[in-house]
Amino acid sequence: MNITSLRAPRRTAVAAVAITMAVLGGAGAGWAAATTAQPAIKTITPRSEKDVTNLDVLRQQLRNYYGDALGTGVFAADSNYAKEASGVAADGTRYLSHHRSYGHATKAIVLDVDDTSLATWNYEVFSNWAYNPTTNADYVTGQKFPAVPGMVAMAQAAEREGYAIFFLTGRPATQEAATLGNLTADGIGVDAGYPKPTTLSDGEDGLFTKPDVSAYPDYLKAACADDPGGKCTTIHYKSATRAHIESLGYDIVGNFGDQYSDLKGGHADKTFKLPNPNYYLP
Ligand SMILES: [Mg+2]
């Protein structure tokens, strides 16, 4: 069972920096003192408890937003979450249908997987919002995630209009087969009904999962050489992969993601942010 996962690399990377700096500091490297570990998320410091929402109250607000007040793990089709996600998908459909690709490039869209293409609400409830790579892998390999509302229809419309369909996820390469099965149709667990990922002009399959650092293609080695341990940050991994896709003759017209780290770093004409109040991946 693979215990690496989409959210583990970032947390591990932050810890690794802190440990490395502590070791260097202990060895007498004076400059190490200047590189104190920082939290990955930069935010306000509340002056009072009144400045924040009580965590248990916030969890209930999230259940209400997903139309799942009792926390069964099944979100409602008429929930505010479903409406908001469908609205973003509809914005995407409208934009894509009017877009003309630049030059001779093939029009393409890029979709993140978790909470962009597949909704992980059931796992948030199961885990009580405490991500654990082992239990998360059970949901991934069991192909337990339903589609994000509106997104299958958006992708199907794009495919009909001649767009190449690419998926780009921080899930590890070991989860590629299960991810493809959940997104499309393999008879195991949920088959969300997405179009098959487009095979690229060089023969690569169009579902990009994150390889182990030892197996990085040259474009990731180059883009992530200065990241801790040479391991790509999410932004570097995703933007370098989009640049790679464009280098093969595609124009990424729309890039869809639920995290800002899915969307930063360019190499897309327009970005679309899906709602996800459950976690934050810098
Ligand atoms: Mg995501």
pLDDT in tens, the chain (282 residues): 344 444 544 433 333 434 343 333 333 344 444 567 888 889 999 999 999 999 999 999 999 999 999 999 999 999 999 999 999 999 999 999 998 666 789 999 999 999 999 999 999 999 999 999 999 999 999 999 999 999 999 999 999 999 999 999 999 999 999 999 999 999 999 999 999 999 999 999 999 999 999 999 999 999 999 999 999 999 999 999 999 999 999 999 999 999 999 999 999 999 999 999 999 998
Centroid of ligand 1 to alpha carbon of 168 (angstroms):
9
CA distance 62 to 110: 27
Q: Render the burial of 23-53: b for 16+ CB within 10 Å, e for the rest.
A: eeeeeeeeebeeeeeeeeeeeeeeeeeeeee
Centroid of ligand 1 to alpha carbon of 115 (angstroms):
5
CA distance 213 to 266: 23
Centroid of ligand 1 to alpha carbon of 278 (angstroms):
11
Residue spans of alpha helices (H) in 51-187? 55-65, 80-98, 121-126, 133-141, 151-160, 176-183
Helix, strand, coil share (%) of the chain residues, nearest 5: 45, 10, 45
Overall CATH class of domain 77-273: alpha beta
Centroid of ligand 1 to alpha carbon of 209 (angstroms):
12
Centroid of ligand 1 to alpha carbon of 248 (angstroms):
24
250's enclosing H/E stretch is strand 250-257
Q: What is the pLDDT of residue 102?
A: 62
Centroid of ligand 1 to alpha carbon of 111 (angstroms):
9
Contact between residue 252 and residue 108 where contact means Cβ atoms under 8 Å apart? yes
Cross-strand pairs, 166: 110
Centroid of ligand 1 to alpha carbon of 251 (angstroms):
22
Say how many C-beta atoms besides its own lie within 10 A of residue 182's C-beta.
Answer: 28
CA distance 257 to 229: 26
> HSE (CB half, 13 Å, CA atoms) of 129?
13
Centroid of ligand 1 to alpha carbon of 116 (angstroms):
5
Centroid of ligand 1 to alpha carbon of 234 (angstroms):
11
Centroid of ligand 1 to alpha carbon of 133 (angstroms):
15
Centroid of ligand 1 to alpha carbon of 136 (angstroms):
14
Kindly report the pTM of this predicted structure: 0.86
Q: Which two tokens stand for residue 122?
A: 């059931």
CA distances 62 to 69, 77, 278, Å, are: 8, 15, 8
Centroid of ligand 1 to alpha carbon of 223 (angstroms):
21
Amino acid at position 199, single letter: T
Centroid of ligand 1 to alpha carbon of 187 (angstroms):
24
Amino acid at position 261, single letter: S
Residue 146: DSSP 8-state = P
Q: What is the pLDDT of residue 101?
A: 64
Q: What is the pLDDT of residue 222?
A: 95
